[in-house]
């Protein structure tokens, strides 16, 4: 998957994150894409909106993808380094690749992905960093709850 | 938490698993309990029923528990050794203890729990084994999908 396509997919995940922030929630979004760049599912964190602690951006996106058997050909694109729940879910399903927006705001369980031979690529996207930094500044307590703090 | 209470809680998780099997789904169930044995949430695998690959017994139970900050005082009781998604979720939230019905039918990501200093106790419950073995015998393909196969 070429670099330009990776950035284009991240822009779609970032749009999901922005939608979540506009709804009063945590600004983390995700999309799932095929190797040619077709987006088959989208999602964003809904913990505040739905009161569900398992509704992270990645898990919501995977819920929308539904039951399928081709996870090993798909890329999970997420605006933030995935937490233990989301990394564990990626390992369970066996994604081909996890494309990460940024890991400056939070360092997730990326080692679990690597140990499961999932390709990991971090784009260090300034837009993703900006969204998270705004939340950490304006709603720090909300974030602590999201990561089990 | 005394041994008799652990077994009583497992019986409640097993009842959830049986409910899932009666609904045509995967027979894995879970409850979340306080140290004194009060059950605050229940759930069972709903992947078949809801078409949601993230609806495992443990994640459904955690959804029902909702937003809270006392995970570190709670025990997650599950009929089967937790898969990477469910173990990762337990690590994220930081449960005090994960009580497992059996690990004969499937060996999950228990090492992640231990590395996160979560107490792990397996009861090797014959009723839990029986439920899983019946499914593995009657619906083997359904199970492979559940563990990302």
User: What ipTM was estimated for this complex?
Assistant: 0.95
Which of B26, B49, B53, B115 to probe by mutation at the A interface, max A CB count within 10 Å?
B53
Is the CB of residue B43 less than 8 Å from the CB of residue B64? Answer: yes
Tokens of A56: 């992270």
* Sequence-ordered alpha helix ranges (H) in chain B: 3-22, 47-50, 57-65, 84-93, 110-115, 126-138, 140-146
Q: Taking CB atoms and an 8 Å cutoff, what residues of chain A touch B109?
A: 88, 91
Instruction: Give CA angle at A62 (B144, A28), nearest 5°.
Output: 145
Using one digit for the tens of pLDDT, what is the confidence trace for B111-129? 999 999 999 999 999 999 9
Q: Find the residue in A nearest to B86 (Cα).
A: A85
Q: Minimal Cα–Cα distance from B111 to chain A, Å?
A: 12
- In the structure, what pLDDT confidence band is assigned to residue A148 with cuts at 50, 70 and 90? low
Catalytic option among B58, B110, B119, B145: B58
Average pLDDT over residues B67-83: 97
pLDDT band at A149 (very low <50, low <70, confident <90, very high): low
Confidence of residue B149 (pLDDT cuts 50, 70, 90): low
Q: Which residues pair with A77 in a beta bridge?
A: A31, A99
Q: A45-70 burial by CB neighbour count: b if 16+ within 10 A, else e?
A: bbbbeeebbbbbbbbbbbbebeeeee
pTM: 0.96
Mean pLDDT of chain B: 96
pLDDT, tens only, A48-104: 999 999 999 999 999 999 999 999 999 999 999 999 999 999 999 999 999 999 999
Would residue B58 show up in a list of annotated catalytic residues for this protein? yes
**Chain B contacts of A30, Cβ < 8 Å?**
none
Q: Is A34 exposed, middle or buried (0-12, 13-18, 19+ CB in 10 A)?
A: middle
- Residue B147 above 60 pLDDT? yes
Rounded CA-CA distance A20/A18 in Å is 5
Between CA B96 and CA B139 the distance in angstroms is 34
Q: Measured between alpha carbons, how far is A6 from A10 in angstroms, rounded to an integer? A: 6
Select which of A16, A35, A58, A145 is catalytic: A58
Rounded to the nearest angstrom, the minimum Cα separation between B87 and chain A is 7
**pLDDT confidence bin for B141, thresholds 50/70/90:** confident
Looking at residue B44, what is its pLDDT? 98
Query: Is B54 in Cβ contact with A59 (below 8 Å)?
Result: yes
Residue A40 has pLDDT above 90, yes or no: yes
Q: Are B123 and B3 in contact (CB under 8 A)?
A: no
Q: In chain A, which residues have their Cβ closer than 8 Å to the Cβ of B92?
A: 83-85, 147-148
Residue B48 has pLDDT above 90, yes or no: yes
């Amino acid at each position: 998957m070429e670099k330009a396509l990776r950035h284009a997919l991240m822009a779609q995940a970032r749009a999901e994150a922005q939608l979540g922030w506009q709804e009063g929630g945590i600004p983390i979004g995700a999309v799932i894409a095929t190797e040619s760049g077709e987006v088959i599912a989208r999602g964003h964190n809904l913990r505040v909106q739905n009161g569900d602690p398992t509704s992270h951006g990645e898990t919501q996106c995977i819920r929308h993808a539904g039951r399928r058997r081709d996870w090993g050909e798909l890329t999970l694109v997420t605006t933030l380094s995935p937490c233990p729940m989301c990394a564990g879910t990626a390992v369970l399903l066996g994604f081909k690749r996890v494309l990460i927006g940024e890991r400056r705001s939070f360092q997730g369980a990326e080692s679990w992905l690597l140990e499961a031979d999932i390709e990991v690529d971090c784009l260090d996207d300034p837009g993703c960093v900006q969204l998270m930094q705004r939340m950490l500044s304006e709603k720090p307590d909300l974030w602590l709850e999201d990561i089990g703090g």
